[in-house]
Amino acid sequence: MKWFWLTVLLCCSMFCSGQEKKRLTIAQMTSDFDFLTAVLQIAHPSLYRYTPRDTLDKYARVTRARFNRPMTEIQFWFIVQHFVAAVRSGHTRLEPDDEFMNRYRLAPHEILPFHIYISGNRIFVKGFIRSGNTTILPNSEITAIDGESARELLNHYRTLVSGDGYNMSLKNYLLENGRFNFLYELAHPGKTQFKLALRTTVGKDTTVMVLAADRYVPAGPPSIATGGVPGEFRLKGMFPADTTEKRLLFDQNSGAVIVKLPDFSYANYLDFHKSLFAQIKAHAATKLFIDLRGNLGGRDFICADLLRYMIGKPFIFTRLEESRVEVSDFEEKNQNHDLLHVQNGFHSLRYPINETLHPYAERFKGRIYVIIDGGTYSSAALFAAALKLQTNCTLIGQESGGNLAGCDGGHIAEVILPGSKLRLFLPLLWTYSASTAPDDGHGIMPEIFLPVSAAALPYKALVDAVP
């Protein structure tokens, strides 16, 4: 680990020489870090849920000792985000300031020319940023990049990505969808080519040189491969101000309908849900697949309304909320730069969304399947938990990014560190899911496991694989 931080400090210095001019003094960094830890202790709703207090205090002392010379903002960010990620709260994260990110977006970049996917502690080529690249075959394992072990890089980068509990699914999902490329560029700036050690799909070890890509294109969520399922309807723009693309696919032969929901933030949800289930009824579907892969959450009331079409008895979406501060008091003092004087204490809260909810008369009565992965997070994971625990639905895919027990969130404040201007995103509520099982720090597990390499498996194959 020590060599990693030395590399970060040296390489980030090279990167930042062209990107940012300011250097933070030891006093500024120490003051910012003390402010951050104080705010976490005052307001974080589950600070010691997954990392014991004595362990986190030890991490804080080790982190504080690293501020032994002036650093750039990004060097400081690498060190402090490593501490923030140790809280094991996916919604709690530190980001560079807006000024730096704006400069970063406008500057030319030369980055790893491929996207990855992760299986266990190994990384594989998912696809290419530079079109026409035939040097590497997809699904080849990357064992080293410029002599650095890919496994060690992955393990280090995981410590820089926030995730819930002991669950690696969200971390892996974010790394697969651009974070790995971003972190590698920050730590290894200015490279125009890369020497890759590969293991091909037939087990042959080889070494190749690849040119950097000159820009970053997000990998995006898993591909939506219809695979011969007829009757696809794209519902983007179905209602005014709705920019989310949702997909509805029918397979008349099997009586299956597949609904792809990339988030729970769409407009006019009441009308959309009503129209959606009217179409499902019109096609006499007997199987309903809800694809929540890459759904990082959204509005809880949208989730709750959708559940009313699928659960045939009174049910709950979530059980309870907890907080350490009054949200209004926190945000008022945040605006006035007076967070250290926020009143804190234990608050147990029940909102209408935590009460017993009732199904609609016109609901789906067939078999329900939910497809999940590491990108199924926040309210999407709460949705999957509520559905699984209160119906006989079947989960397909991989461990969800959100934990079965619940998650931080509800209201996420943005706190600016005074000296560095780094942005701390801080959830102020803990939400208990519908589950009453002990919190083991892990996500929702599928009954039917779908390997990462099969993320783009045609829907037809999924439909045919289930009873």
For 209, the 3-state DSSP assignment is: strand
Residue 274 has pLDDT above 50, yes or no: yes
121 and 66 together in one domain: no
22 and 143 together in one domain: no
Residue 464 has pLDDT above 80, yes or no: no
Instruction: Report, in angstroms and rounded to the nearest whole number, the Rg of the chain calculated over CA atoms.
Output: 23
According to DSSP, residue 213 is labeled: B
The residue assigned the tokens 């080529």 is 125
User: Greater confidence, 178 or 47?
Assistant: 47
366 and 273 together in one domain: yes
User: What CA–CA distance (Å, rounded) separates 93 from 81?
Assistant: 7
Give the pair of three-digit tokens for residue 431.
């939400």
7-16, 225-234, 304-313, 410-419: least confident range? 225-234
Write the pLDDT tens digit of every residue in 363-409. Answer: 999 999 999 999 999 999 999 999 999 999 999 999 999 999 999 99
Select from 106, 141, 176 the last residue of a domain.
Answer: 106
Write the pLDDT tens digit of every residue in 430-453. Answer: 999 999 999 999 999 999 988 766
312 and 454 together in one domain: yes
339 falls within a domain: no
User: What CA–CA distance (Å, rounded) separates 305 from 270?
Assistant: 7
345 falls within a domain: no
Cα distances from 380 to residues 176, 287, 370, in angstroms, run 19, 20, 11
41 and 25 together in one domain: yes
Write the pLDDT tens digit of every residue in 338-350. Answer: 999 988 888 888 8
227 falls within a domain: no
Domain harbouring 70, CATH code: 3.30.750
101 falls within a domain: yes
385 falls within a domain: yes
User: What CA–CA distance (Å, rounded) separates 375 from 167?
Assistant: 12
Question: Over pLDDT 70: what percentage of the chain?
Answer: 86
The pTM of the full predicted model, rounded to 2 decimals, is 0.88
411 falls within a domain: no
70 and 12 together in one domain: yes
Domain holding 13, by residue range, is 2-106
45 and 163 together in one domain: no
Write the pLDDT tens digit of every residue in 41-63. Answer: 999 999 999 999 999 999 999 99
Write the pLDDT tens digit of every residue in 209-256. Answer: 988 887 544 444 333 333 333 333 333 333 333 344 567 787 777 888
CA 368 to chain centre: 25
93 and 203 together in one domain: no
Phi and psi at 104, nearest 5°, equal -60, -45
The conformational region for residue 297 under phi > 0 = left, psi -120 to 50 = alpha, else beta, is left
Q: What residues contact residue 311 under an 8 Å CB cut-off, 6+ apart?
A: 359, 363, 386, 387, 390, 391
The count of other CB atoms within 10 Å of the CB of residue 331 is 17
SS3 helix, strand, coil % of the chain, rounded to 5? 35, 25, 40
Select from 211, 245, 266 the last residue of a domain.
Answer: 211
51 and 75 together in one domain: yes
**How many structural domains comprise the chain?**
3
> Crossing angle, helix 26-43 and helix 73-85, to 10 degrees?
30
According to DSSP, residue 223 is labeled: P
Domain harbouring 376, CATH code: 3.90.226.10
User: What CA–CA distance (Å, rounded) separates 111 from 132?
Assistant: 16
206 falls within a domain: yes
177 and 78 together in one domain: no
- Helices (DSSP H) in 53-127: which residue ranges? 53-65, 73-85, 98-106
Q: What residues contact residue 284 under an 8 Å CB cut-off, 6+ apart?
A: 255
Domain harbouring 203, CATH code: 2.30.42.10
Write the pLDDT tens digit of every residue in 88-140. Answer: 999 999 999 888 888 777 777 778 888 899 999 999 998 887 655 567 788 89
Which amino acid is located at 210 in the chain? V
16 and 141 together in one domain: no
87 falls within a domain: yes
The count of other CB atoms within 10 Å of the CB of residue 355 is 12
Which amino acid is located at 438 in the chain? P
Per-residue pLDDT, averaged over 324-335, amounts to 93
Give the pair of three-digit tokens for residue 247.
């997909």
73-77, 162-166, 190-194, 380-384: least confident range? 190-194
287 and 379 together in one domain: yes
Select from 62, 80, 106 the last residue of a domain.
Answer: 106
